[in-house]
Amino acid sequence: MQIGRDMGALKSRTGLLNEQFARAVGSVTKLRQLPSRFRELEREVQETQRLHQRVAELTDVVAEVLVPAADRDDKRIREVLAKYNETSF
């Protein structure tokens, strides 16, 4: 009966080691993916910054257009709209 208990303990220990090995392999895989994930996140941050810049520019255009009629400078509005049209995506 000692052999049976030893085999059971060995199987249990082997199962635990297999689980630990699988977790370690998963961790190594994630670590290897970090550089590409980091580059992807950098691209997303740059795109977000670009979009925020566009929103700021559009806000400036809207502010120029919504100035009260008495204070409005039509030439300036045309210049701002032309600049926005040149740089907008």
- pLDDT tens, residue by residue, 27-54: 999 999 999 999 999 999 999 999 999 9
Res 10: pLDDT: 77
Res 86: pLDDT: 82
With a cut of 70, say whether residue 82 has pLDDT above it.
yes
With a cut of 70, say whether residue 68 has pLDDT above it.
no
Q: Is 68 helix (H, G, I), strand (E, B) or coil?
A: coil
Separation CA 55–CA 58 (nearest Å): 5
What residue segments make up the domains of the chain, in order of their start?
2-87
Separation CA 41–CA 45 (nearest Å): 6
